[in-house]
Amino acid sequence: MDLFIEISLIIVLAAFIAGLAHLLKQPLIIGYILTGLLVGPKVLNLLRASDVIHIFSQIGIALLLFIVGLGLRPKNIRRLGNVAVITGVGQVLFTSLIGFAIVRLFGFNATTSLYIAIALTFSSTIIILKLLSDKRHLGTLYGQISIGFLLVQDIIATLILIFVSSFSEGQRFMEVALLLLLKGVLLGSVLYFCTRYVLPPLSFFFARKQEFLFLFSIAWGLGLASLFHLLGFSIEIGALVAGVALSTTPYHLNISFKMRPVRDFFVILFFILLGSELVFESLLDMLLPAFILSVFVLIGNPLIVMTLLGLLGYSKRTGFMAGLTVAQISEFSLILMALGSDLGHISQDAVALVTVVGLVTIAGSTYLILYAEKIYPYLAPYLSLFEKKHRKAEQHVAQYDMFLFGYNRVGYDFVQVFRDLKKKFLVVDFDPEAVQRLSHSNIPVKYGDVGDSEFLAELDLEHAILVVSTIPDFETNAFLVQRIRSVNSRAIVIVISHNISCAQQLYDFGASYVMMPHFLGAQYAAMMIERYGFDVQRFHKERTEHRSYLRQRQVLGHEHPVAESLR
């Protein structure tokens, strides 16, 4: 069959099945994987040029991680580095130990049990990034933490694959690992120099034309990913590093917007290829162990992550949301099992078992992540075990006149105004780092999750005069407004939205005012024209004051947040 016709038929079939999935309100990823099963060798056998599709899928993976890197500014990596390493390594360790014990109970030998146990530890970075991107949760606290420990998992997986591969190539693992470490240090030094001195003028040159900037971005991302691959690293790590390097430029958001449609097309081919390569041999004999191991991955892995994050001081909601991102196995798992089979370490039955677990957990975790916000309220009362105990509440709850929910770039301005009003106010945030910074600045702050009704009940919202929420999530703001209005009809409630229809709904729920940042800027500029007319001096004064304000925000490391609706 002609290659063009083959790819066209696959895309048409994918569009049809994805359309059915959308009508049935099912995750699109499931539709793509089912398309792969249909076009694979076991059903229609349409996918003959798997090598070409594989290359396309690699481009999609590289672009996906490149865009993620564009949002991972170096300061964010430093901020969440410790929790990512502790959670990533801890989850791999505990899942391996528990998984090994479970697999041994089914009569597998020690070598096979070790392979399967390790395969159960790795979660699919690609699938999770796609789901979080679709939900627009990549920038949330749990999203950033999840990206961090998933990348730690990928590094561990790469080292394990190198170790296993060394058996077939007759190489020593330590020699290969030390050589990679040396290459990594040299490459990191060169990239630091480029990021500091080469990229700024280069990106400025290409940014003069949008087409040039787009072409330069693809060249930089894929070129660096290829360089990493040639030096023995994974394409994924190279693409991510390329994105992080460009995240320091002023154009990273524009680049990210332009790359997303291209990314989505190629990533779809990745999921189709994944579905076509799933193998189900000896399925009947594997049903019971596949069921038990799938339950372990879907429930056990999240519990491990929730425990670790709870010990690190994060809320039960953050732990729950982040925990769901490890409720499936990865493409690394399937690669590891295939490699073990080629080396004669394990049988095809073990490969089939992990394949079934992969399909079940990928499907199951997709539903769990997409509907996490609806599931959490039902489980919240039972999740306090995974959260550090708060100190006992005092008999008299401190009363505050004003509340600020969410201290981010927008919240900074409100804190300054609250101080000037000389009223008692409280800032609420669920990021331990933000809470620590505010505490050091002697700003009244409380660690908590606005989406937790029990936490809101602890606050004296009945006597609040003013409540401001800078949290961009519509469901959280809707819940907060309705909660306040149920106990306080007089308070001024100001929330934020990046969507007109959502803003109208928030007004219906009782919001006093809904901030829409993109409209507010234009509205203020129009007011200045109306007020100042053609007075150049007054505009010059506004310009001077605004530049001074922007410099102050820049010193604090703030940057204008991106409207979620534009993503």
DSSP one-letter string for 262-273: HHHHHHHHHHHH
Confidence class for position 397, pLDDT limits 50, 70, 90: very low
Least confident of 185-194, 309-318, 327-336, 385-394: 385-394
Q: What is the mean pLDDT of residues 407-418?
A: 79
Q: How many angstroms separate the CA atoms of 380 and 315, rounded?
A: 11
Q: What is the mean pLDDT of residues 412-429?
A: 86
Per-residue pLDDT tens over the stretch 373-393: 889 988 988 888 887 765 333
Tokens of 222: 């894929």
Q: What Å distances lie between residue 489 and 250, 263, 455, 460, 464, CA to CA?
A: 44, 47, 20, 14, 10
Q: What amino acid is encoded at 492 in this protein? A: I
Check if the beta carbon of residue 83 is closer than 8 Å to that of residue 148.
yes
| Res 283: pLDDT | 59
90 against 138, higher pLDDT: 90
| Res 97: pLDDT | 94
Beta bridge partner(s), residue 429? 447
Least confident of 112-116, 352-356, 483-487, 501-505: 352-356
Least confident of 89-93, 275-279, 404-408: 275-279
Specify the pairing of strand 445-447 against strand 492-496: unpaired
Tokens of 275: 């579905």
The percent of residues above 70 in pLDDT, for the chain, comes to 86
| Res 395: pLDDT | 39
Which helix (H) or strand (E) segment holds residue 7: the answer is helix 3-23
Average per-residue pLDDT for the chain: 82
Question: Strand order in 402-405's β-sheet?
Answer: 445-447, 425-429, 402-405, 466-469, 492-496, 513-515
Check if the beta carbon of residue 108 is closer than 8 Å to that of residue 350.
yes
Three-class SS state of 425: strand
506 against 2, higher pLDDT: 506
Q: What is the mean pLDDT of residues 316-329?
A: 91
Residues making up the chain, counted from first to last: 567
| Res 553: pLDDT | 67
Confidence class for position 281, pLDDT limits 50, 70, 90: low
Q: With CA atoms as reference, report the closest residue to 364 among 527, 189, 127, 546.
A: 127
Confidence class for position 551, pLDDT limits 50, 70, 90: confident
Say whether pLDDT at 490 is over 70: yes
Q: Report residue 40 CA to chain centroid gap.
A: 30
pTM score > 0.85 for this model? no
Least confident of 88-92, 243-247, 255-259, 343-347: 255-259
Say whether domain 402-515 belongs to CATH 3.40.50.720: yes
Q: What is the mean pLDDT of residues 335-363?
A: 82
Per-residue pLDDT tens over the stretch 169-228: 555 656 766 777 788 788 888 888 888 888 888 877 777 676 888 898 899 999 998 998
Q: What is the mean pLDDT of residues 526-537?
A: 85
Confidence class for position 327, pLDDT limits 50, 70, 90: very high
The percent of residues above 90 in pLDDT, for the chain, comes to 21
Q: According to CATH, what is the number of the domain 49-385?
A: 1.20.1530.20
Say whether pLDDT at 77 is over 70: no
Say whether pLDDT at 566 is over 50: no
Q: What amino acid is encoded at 342 in this protein? A: D
Three-class SS state of 346: coil
Say whether pLDDT at 147 is over 50: yes
Q: What is the DSSP string of 86-104?
A: HHHHHHHHHHHHHHHHHHH
Q: What is the mean pLDDT of residues 116-136?
A: 84
Which residue has 């420990």 as its token pair? Answer: 149
